């Protein structure tokens, strides 16, 4: 086990110790024990930058299940390192924030930090695994720990609903992704991502390529909250704010982005990948930003804004994949989109993390997150206001913050889509920049709402639960760090380009040349005018918000995706209940009909299809007349049972059948069987009489069995099939009987002359032993049933 | 000759069995059926004896004895049931 593996697993190991630390150090906030770990990991991962900046990577492997090619191989390359730094860096800040956010006395801190560490370890495992099965294992662990964190306040109905919803959707996608991984394994025979990328040409021509692509994309889209699977994210806002900041803005929702980026080298040769990723991303971008404007809860706005920004990164990755697709073009033409994606990934983590923390502070200090009750906090909480301003302006894409740069590059990427007319549909690709532009306008509007509806306007103390004041310093430090990063990356973007962005792009676009200089000023390009348009139109829309907000009422409630989800779940439950209650009706006779009908159909069809019916009379002994008469007696008695009027007659006729069968045993020379059959028949007839005597009065009325056509058809079918099987089996004897051995050895080996008995107790005595056991159990069971009357004892 | 006689006796006994089966099924009362069953038991004894002779074996003599006992017990049990409603009387109700 290398240090790298230890680093990945260390959060899980610490999670084991947390409950103990919580128990024995009551007076110290448990978060302080957690805090050093992500910081240490962050510095540990920082040292790998020197390794990845020249495009190299390392893989460390420890065997897990080598016989199945499943090994815990950890790989550090540009992309994995970028995510690892995000996870540990923001993880440290979020832990620090949570120490001040969560009360030591009121909350169950031990479970919170266990879940949090579980998540952190899982997320590190996802981004640093080179083995698909290990990646999937950690992937499900992130879903699971996210479920636990969303349901942290489990006594609240909405928390449980949100946790269940996110679990169902992400696990659905996760399973689809597992399917995709297995398809990839079938195609290549390896679980290693690195090897797969090396053999992408071979995968591309395989017939399972498209199914694998769709399955993996489904997993990535559900996790990254892409349209139409984004509905779980707003409901996940029931989690504590540090969780929302960490999982639902900076890390977990980017796992899908990671997967798309990671698999781009394999799948991007196909245009389907390009259009699905870019198309779904751009739709998500628009729908997220459009929906964000109508929200009144600050966290809901941020949730939809996360959806929208994730869509933006996703569409950029899709467009950037064109660099692999069009190899004949000048490569750096489309790679700018990937640069923008990676850059915005970092930017989004910084400003969205800080915004969530600010919202958490507001919630903490005022007791509400509803923008209709907030306002005028600018003088009371000046630091929070500054932080919110920086974050929101960066999100809106204004200079001099980092969001401006990534938005400019985003527009560049989108404009270049117009030039890749893959399906000769130039008009369609023109939609990309237009939708992106409209989406950005809405982004601008909701960013303004976050800042100005909260901090500007009239202060309404009567609507607030407590008197707001500035948050404690510890709570402000994490968002301060993030906000200063927003500005630093905005002013000096190139400190990232060589260290993080270029290595990450090497992983996404292996073997391509690109230029990642991020320049602040492009000159008077179309992108600049688009940004100007966004600002102007966005300001107008924000100022006239009250006039056009009724637009949101136009969309009928029935078409809302949440309603669709709720109804779908309800219908699925109701439908399966209905389905089950149609065939599971509780009557044994119905189940017997299923069993016998199934038996007849399956066996009959098999015999028919295999053409296995055979009647061969060469081996049949002559029928003697008394045999014929005995068989006739049995047959007549059997049929007459069906038409018997009273039950007593049935019992007696059944006895007659049993005795006749014993007579048949005599005729066929089986004295032991005949003896046993006679005794058993007598005993069972008397048992039947016993049952008859104890029947309740009401069912003793003499009544014939009613005729039912289905039953008749099925019984005749079963009889016919069994007869045919018996005839066919007798006609096709494949080898000689082994009976000769017993005949020769009964006396020689076992010292007995009665062959049946010798077989029963000597040659095959095991069967006899267990038959005895069966009888013993039956006797005990009957005794227990008669004697043990718990219900009656309870009454008495 | 001997063999033919044996076969003929089997045939006749079988025919009498058929008649008894008719009575068993037709009824009309339960005692009719019980008597038919008893007679069937005795016919069985005869059939088994003849079959043993035909097969030249003494392996079925136990069966003959057993049927004799069972037919007796069975008929007694039936009769008792028809008369009293119970077969095994107990002194006290458990």
Check B74 against A648: CB less than 8 A apart.
no
Which of B30, B67, B71 to mutate against chain A (most A CBs within 10 Å)? B67
Looking at per-residue pLDDT, the higher value among A66 and B89 belongs to A66
- Chain A neighbors of B68, CB-CB under 8 A: none
With 60 as the cut, is the pLDDT of residue A780 above it?
Answer: yes
Residues 6+ apart with CB under 8 A from A537: A441, A444
How many angstroms separate the CA atoms of A674 and A272, rounded? 76
Q: Return the SS3 of A129.
A: strand
Distances (CA, A) of A726 to A571, A610, A621, A632, A721: 48, 16, 16, 19, 9
How many angstroms separate the CA atoms of A153 and A239, rounded? 7
With 80 as the cut, is the pLDDT of residue A522 above it?
Answer: no
How many angstroms separate the CA atoms of A224 and A537, rounded? 29
Distances (CA, A) of A18 to A96, A143, A145, A603: 16, 21, 16, 60
If residue A74 lies in a helix (H) or strand (E), which one and from where to where?
strand A70-76
pLDDT tens digits for range A258-303:
999 888 888 888 888 888 888 899 889 988 888 888 888 888 888 9
- Chain B neighbors of A689, CB-CB under 8 A: 77-78, 81, 87
Please report the pLDDT score of residue A147 as a whole number: 92
- Chain B neighbors of A651, CB-CB under 8 A: none
Check B33 against A649: CB less than 8 A apart.
yes
Check A656 against B21: CB less than 8 A apart.
yes
With 60 as the cut, is the pLDDT of residue A329 above it?
Answer: no
Check A686 against B77: CB less than 8 A apart.
yes
With 60 as the cut, is the pLDDT of residue B94 above it?
Answer: no
Rg of chain A over CA atoms, in angstroms? 38
Please report the pLDDT score of residue A331 as a whole number: 55
How many angstroms separate the CA atoms of A441 and A437, rounded? 6
Asked if A694 contacts B62 with a C-beta cutoff of 8 angstroms, the reply is: no
Please report the pLDDT score of residue A426 as a whole number: 55
Shortest CA gap B78–chain A (Å): 9
Angle CA A366–A368–A371, to nearest 5? 110
Torsion of CA A448, A452, A455, A458, to 10 degrees: -160
Check A666 against B21: CB less than 8 A apart.
no
Residues 6+ apart with CB under 8 A from A160: A151, A154
Residue tagged 């964190």 (tokens) = A149
Which of B13, B59, B61 to mutate against chain A (most A CBs within 10 Å)? B59
pLDDT tens digits for range A760-775:
998 999 999 999 999 9
> Residue B60 is nearest to which of A648, A666, A690, comparing CB atoms?
A666
Check A626 against B33: CB less than 8 A apart.
no
A349-363: average pLDDT: 89
Task: Measure CA A136 to chain center.
Answer: 10
Residues of A with CB under 8 A from a CB of B: 625-626, 629-630, 632-633, 636-637, 640, 644, 648-649, 652-653, 655-656, 659, 662-663, 666-667, 669, 671, 674-675, 678-679, 682, 685-686, 689-690, 693
Both structure tokens of A584: 């599971």
pLDDT tens digits for range A219-236:
999 998 888 888 888 888
Residue of B nearest to A644 (CA): B25
How many angstroms separate the CA atoms of A255 and A215, rounded? 15
How many angstroms separate the CA atoms of A225 and A235, rounded? 12
Q: Pairing relation of β-strands A70-76 and A58-65?
A: antiparallel
Which of B31, B38, B64, B66 to mutate against chain A (most A CBs within 10 Å)? B66
The residues that bridge with A370 in the sheet, in sequence order, are: A297
How many angstroms separate the CA atoms of A730 and A724, rounded? 10
B44 touches chain A (CB under 8 A): yes
Mean pLDDT of chain A: 85
Longest dimension (CA), chain A: 115
> Residue B63 is nearest to which of A640, A649, A666, comparing CB atoms?
A666
Both structure tokens of A725: 């099987």
Give A39's pLDDT tier (boundaries 50, 70, 90).
Answer: very high
Give A702's pLDDT tier (boundaries 50, 70, 90).
Answer: low
Helix axes A426-448, A298-320, angle to 10 degrees: 150
pLDDT tens digits for range A120-149:
999 999 999 989 999 999 999 999 999 999
With 60 as the cut, is the pLDDT of residue A330 above it?
Answer: no
Asked if A121 contacts A12 with a C-beta cutoff of 8 angstroms, the reply is: yes
Handedness of CA A48, A317, A294, A253 (dihedral sign): negative
A528-556: average pLDDT: 80
Both structure tokens of A274: 């390009």
> Residue A656 is nearest to which of B7, B40, B57, comparing CB atoms?
B40
- Chain A neighbors of B66, CB-CB under 8 A: 675, 678-679
Both structure tokens of B84: 């009293």
Check A649 against B59: CB less than 8 A apart.
no
Handedness of CA A160, A161, A164, A167 (dihedral sign): negative
Looking at per-residue pLDDT, the higher value among A3 and A577 belongs to A577
For chain B, the first-to-last Cα distance in angstroms comes to: 63
Check B10 against A682: CB less than 8 A apart.
no
A551-570: average pLDDT: 76
Check B25 against A629: CB less than 8 A apart.
no
Which of B14, B53, B62, B75 to mutate against chain A (most A CBs within 10 Å)? B14
Residue tagged 């948050």 (tokens) = A471
With 80 as the cut, is the pLDDT of residue A646 above it?
Answer: no
With 80 as the cut, is the pLDDT of residue A1 above it?
Answer: no
Check A652 against B86: CB less than 8 A apart.
no
Please report the pLDDT score of residue A363 as a whole number: 84
Residue tagged 């900076």 (tokens) = A250
- Chain B neighbors of A639, CB-CB under 8 A: none
Query: What secondary structure letter does DSSP report for A253?
Result: G
Check B21 against A667: CB less than 8 A apart.
no
If residue A202 lies in a helix (H) or strand (E), which one and from where to where?
helix A200-204
**B39 C-beta neighbours (distance < 10 Å), count:** 18
A545-574: average pLDDT: 78
Please report the pLDDT score of residue A692 as a whole number: 79
Give A637's pLDDT tier (boundaries 50, 70, 90).
Answer: confident
- Chain A neighbors of B14, CB-CB under 8 A: 625-626, 629-630
- Chain A neighbors of B44, CB-CB under 8 A: 659, 662-663
Please report the pLDDT score of residue A778 as a whole number: 95
Check B66 against A679: CB less than 8 A apart.
yes
Asked if A220 contacts A212 with a C-beta cutoff of 8 angstroms, the reply is: no
Looking at per-residue pLDDT, the higher value among A107 and A155 belongs to A155
Helix axes A78-101, A36-46, angle to 10 degrees: 160
Q: Return the SS3 of A353.
A: helix
With 70 as the cut, is the pLDDT of residue B93 above it?
Answer: no
Both structure tokens of A23: 């128990």
**A64 C-beta neighbours (distance < 10 Å), count:** 15
Check B87 against A686: CB less than 8 A apart.
yes
Q: What percent of chain A has pLDDT over 70?
A: 93
pLDDT tens digits for range A15-38:
998 888 888 888 888 888 888 999
With 60 as the cut, is the pLDDT of residue B47 above it?
Answer: yes
pLDDT tens digits for range A166-213:
999 999 999 999 999 999 898 888 888 888 888 877 888 888 888 888
Shortest CA gap A604–chain B (Å): 34
Looking at per-residue pLDDT, the higher value among A57 and A635 belongs to A635
Please report the pLDDT score of residue A142 as a whole number: 92
Residue tagged 């056009």 (tokens) = A548
Check B24 against A689: CB less than 8 A apart.
no
Check A674 against B73: CB less than 8 A apart.
no
| Closest C-alpha to A132, from A87, A96, A186 | A186
Check B44 against A659: CB less than 8 A apart.
yes
With 60 as the cut, is the pLDDT of residue A328 above it?
Answer: no
How many angstroms separate the CA atoms of A761 and A554, rounded? 85
With 60 as the cut, is the pLDDT of residue A694 above it?
Answer: yes
Residues 6+ apart with CB under 8 A from B57: A669
Q: What are the respective helix, strand and coil percentages of chain B, to the nearest 5?
A: 80, 0, 20
Residues 6+ apart with CB under 8 A from A461: A467
How many angstroms separate the CA atoms of A392 and A375, rounded? 16
Both structure tokens of A65: 């299940």
A503-531: average pLDDT: 74
pLDDT tens digits for range A68-108:
888 888 888 888 898 999 999 999 999 999 888 888 878 88
**Top-ranked range on mean pLDDT: pick from A401-405, A429-433, A478-482, A707-711:** A478-482
Give A601's pLDDT tier (boundaries 50, 70, 90).
Answer: very high
Task: Measure CA A507 to chain center.
Answer: 27
Both structure tokens of A696: 């309740």
B39 touches chain A (CB under 8 A): no
Torsion of CA A273, A275, A279, A280, to 10 degrees: -20
Check B55 against A682: CB less than 8 A apart.
no
Check B60 against A674: CB less than 8 A apart.
yes
Q: Return the SS3 of A297.
A: strand
Check B25 against A636: CB less than 8 A apart.
yes
Please report the pLDDT score of residue B91 as a whole number: 63
Q: Is A788 exposed, middle or buried (0-12, 13-18, 19+ CB in 10 A)?
A: exposed
Shortest CA gap A633–chain B (Å): 7
Asked if A484 contacts A398 with a C-beta cutoff of 8 angstroms, the reply is: no
With 90 as the cut, is the pLDDT of residue A719 above it?
Answer: yes
Please report the pLDDT score of residue A171 as a whole number: 93
What is the three-state SS of A496-557?
HHHHHHHHHHHHHCCCCCCCCCCCCCCCCCHHHHHHHHHHHHHHHHHHCHHHHHHHHHCCCH
- Chain B neighbors of A652, CB-CB under 8 A: 24, 33-34, 37
Check A625 against B63: CB less than 8 A apart.
no
Residue of A nearest to B48 (CA): A666
Shortest CA gap A747–chain B (Å): 18
Both structure tokens of A143: 């879903």
B73 touches chain A (CB under 8 A): yes
pLDDT tens digits for range A443-493:
888 888 888 888 887 777 777 767 767 778 888 888 889 889 888 888 887
A395-418: average pLDDT: 82
Q: How many residues does chain B have?
A: 94
How many angstroms separate the CA atoms of A32 and A28, rounded? 7
If residue A334 lies in a helix (H) or strand (E), which one and from where to where?
helix A332-366
- Chain A neighbors of B73, CB-CB under 8 A: 682
pTM of the model: 0.80
Shortest CA gap A675–chain B (Å): 6
């Amino acid at each position: 086990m290398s240090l790298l593996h230890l680093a990945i697993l260390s959060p899980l190991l610490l999670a084991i110790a947390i409950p103990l630390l919580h128990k024995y150090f009551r007076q110290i906030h448990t978060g302080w024990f957690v805090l050093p770990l992500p910081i240490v990991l962050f510095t540990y991962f920082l040292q790998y930058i020197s390794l990845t900046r020249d495009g190299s990577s390392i893989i460390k492997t420890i065997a897990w299940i080598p016989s199945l090619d499943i090994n815990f191989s950890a790989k550090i390359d540009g992309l994995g390192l970028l995510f690892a730094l995000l996870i540990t860096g923001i993880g440290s800040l979020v832990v620090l924030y949570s120490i001040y956010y969560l009360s030591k006395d009121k909350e169950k801190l031990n479970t919170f930090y266990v879940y949090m560490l579980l998540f952190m370890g899982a997320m590190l495992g996802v981004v640093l695994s080179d083995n698909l099965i290990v990646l999937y294992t950690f992937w499900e662990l992130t879903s699971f720990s996210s479920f636990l964190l969303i349901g942290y306040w489990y006594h609240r109905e909405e928390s449980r609903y949100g946790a269940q919803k996110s679990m169902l959707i992400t696990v659905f996608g996760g399973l689809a992704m597992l399917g995709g991984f297995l398809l990839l394994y079938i195609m290549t025979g390896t679980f290693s991502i690195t090897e797969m990328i090396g053999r992408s040409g071979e995968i591309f021509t395989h017939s399972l390529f498209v199914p694998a692509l769709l399955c993996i994309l489904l997993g990535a889209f559900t996790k990254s909250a892409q349209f139409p699977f984004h509905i779980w994210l707003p409901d996940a806002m029931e989690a504590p704010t540090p969780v929302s900041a960490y999982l639902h803005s900076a890390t977990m929702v980017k796992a899908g982005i990671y997967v798309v980026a990671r698999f781009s080298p394999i799948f991007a040769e196909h245009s389907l990948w390009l259009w699905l990723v870019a198309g779904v991303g751009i739709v998500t971008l628009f729908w997220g930003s459009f929906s964000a404007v109508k929200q009144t809860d600050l966290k809901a706005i941020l949730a939809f804004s996360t959806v929208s920004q994730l869509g933006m990164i996703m569409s950029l990755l899709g467009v950037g994949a064109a660099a692999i697709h069009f190899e004949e073009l000048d490569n750096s033409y489309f790679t700018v989109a990937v640069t923008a994606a990676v850059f915005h990934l970092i930017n989004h983590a910084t400003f969205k993390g800080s915004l969530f923390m600010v919202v958490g502070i507001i919630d903490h200090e005022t007791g509400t997150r509803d923008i209709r009750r907030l306002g005028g906090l600018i003088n009371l909480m000046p630091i929070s206001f500054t932080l919110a301003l920086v974050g929101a302006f960066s999100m809106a894409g204004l200079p001099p913050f980092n969001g401006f740069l990534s938005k400019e590059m985003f527009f560049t990427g989108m404009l270049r889509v117009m030039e890749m007319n893959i399906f000769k549909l130039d008009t369609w690709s023109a939609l990309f920049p237009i939708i992106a532009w409209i989406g950005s306008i809405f982004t601008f509007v909701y960013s303004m709402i976050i800042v100005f509806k909260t901090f500007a306007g009239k202060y309404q103390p009567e609507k607030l639960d407590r008197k707001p004041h500035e948050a404690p310093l510890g709570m402000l430090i994490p968002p301060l760090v993030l906000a200063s990063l927003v500005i630093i990356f905005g002013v000096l973007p190139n400190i990232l380009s060589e260290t993080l962005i270029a290595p990450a792009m090497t992983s996404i676009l292996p073997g391509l040349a690109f230029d990642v200089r991020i320049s602040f000023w492009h000159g008077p390009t179309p992108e600049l005018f688009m940004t100007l348009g966004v600002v102007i139109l966005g300001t107008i829309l924000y100022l006239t918000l009250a006039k056009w907000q009724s637009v949101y009422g136009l969309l009928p409630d029935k078409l809302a995706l949440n309603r669709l989800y709720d109804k779908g779940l309800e219908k699925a439950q109701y439908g399966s209940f209905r389905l089950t209650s149609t065939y599971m009706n509780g009557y044994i006779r119905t189940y017997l009909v299923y069993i016998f009908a199934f038996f007849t159909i399956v066996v009959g069809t098999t015999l028919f299809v295999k053409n296995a019916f055979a009647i061969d009379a060469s081996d049949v002994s002559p029928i003697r007349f008394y045999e014929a008469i005995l068989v006739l007696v049995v047959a007549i008695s059997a049929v007459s049972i069906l038409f018997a009027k009273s039950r007593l007659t049935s019992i007696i006729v059944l006895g007659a059948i049993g005795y006749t069968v014993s007579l048949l045993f005599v005729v066929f020379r089986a004295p032991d069987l005949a003896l046993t059959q006679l005794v058993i028949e007598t005993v069972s007839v008397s048992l039947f009489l016993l049952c008859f005597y104890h029947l309740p009065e009401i069912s003793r009325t003499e009544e014939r069995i009613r005729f039912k056509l289905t039953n008749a058809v099925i019984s005749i079918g079963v009889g016919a099939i069994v007869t045919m099987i018996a005839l066919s089996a007798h006609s096709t004897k494949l080898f000689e009987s082994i009976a000769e051995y017993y005949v020769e050895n009964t006396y020689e080996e076992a010292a007995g002359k009665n062959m049946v008995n010798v077989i029963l107790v000597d040659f095959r005595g095991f069967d006899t032993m267990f038959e005895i056991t069966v009888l013993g159990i039956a006797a005990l069971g009957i005794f227990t049933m008669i004697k043990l009357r718990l219900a009656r004892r309870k009454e008495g | 000759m001997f063999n033919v006689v044996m076969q003929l006796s089997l045939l006749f006994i079988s025919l009498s069995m058929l008649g008894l089966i008719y009575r068993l099924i037709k009824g009309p009362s339960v005692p009719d059926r019980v008597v038919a069953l008893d007679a069937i038991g005795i016919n069985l004894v005869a059939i088994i004896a003849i079959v043993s002779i035909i097969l030249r074996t003494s392996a079925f003599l136990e069966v003959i004895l057993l049927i004799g006992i069972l037919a007796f017990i069975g008929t007694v049990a039936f009769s008792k049931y028809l008369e009293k409603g119970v077969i095994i009387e107990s002194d006290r109700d458990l």
